[in-house]
Structure 1
């Protein structure tokens, strides 16, 4: 008997249906709450990602901090970022890193990458 693999995003025989909702809005809300006042998202993008065993999404986030104490706020946000706990419905954060930090006179810009995996 030959089994055909199900296309990405569709369950194969006997596998549970996978969620397709993008967890990015939840992640952005929690990131904004941790960043505090005067935080702006200059760029956000999300695209599907999969491996042989997992399915999820890869996220690119550009976050700008403005106002008082931006350097200290950026330090507080990024310290331990890869180990922070996030509460995402149907997903978990497998990886989140700071790709670049730009300190300027008017604030700090953080360029972040995150990988979320469907939790089923």
Structure 2
């Protein structure tokens, strides 16, 4: 069992939100890069993120759904999906351990793409 002296003064503790981005949800930064990859016009239809951990690592699991619209939506969907597993992502304090397309199909006026990603805190 762990105990703590609440009255002790600890000036060297990191508070929530401090540090080099560790522990913070990288989803907003990942979404911005996915939207840039998708091109305009595109919309984030759904984006959820939840904590994930293994015996050695901690991070977040993300589920993201995008709709791409416009006359070139089909070509943009193909370009978006091509090589996404090997793409480089710039997420300070995190890295993308796994990313994959879960669903992709035409919708009225465009294309639908749903993907999963696992980001790990980079120590």
Q: Where on the TM-score scale, by shorter chain, does this alignment land: which range?
A: 0.7 to 0.9
TM (normalized to structure 2)?
0.81
Distance in 2, matches of 1:27 and 1:93, equals 9
TM (normalized to structure 1)?
0.83
Residue 105 of structure 1 deviates from its aligned partner by 3.8
Structure label with greater radius of gyration: 2
Q: Structure 1 segments of 4 or more deviating over 4 A?
A: none
Q: Secondary structure at the match of 1:87?
A: coil
Is there any run of 5+ residues in structure 2 with no aligned partner, and where? Answer: 3-20
Is there any run of 5+ residues in structure 1 with no aligned partner, and where? Answer: 5-17
Number of positions where the alignment pairs a residue of Structure 1 with one of Structure 2: 105
Look up the match of 1:10: none
Mapping 1:15-30, distance limit 5 Å? 19-30=22-33
Mapping 1:1-120, distance limit 5 Å? 19-120=22-123
C-alpha root-mean-square deviation of aligned residues, in Å? 1.5
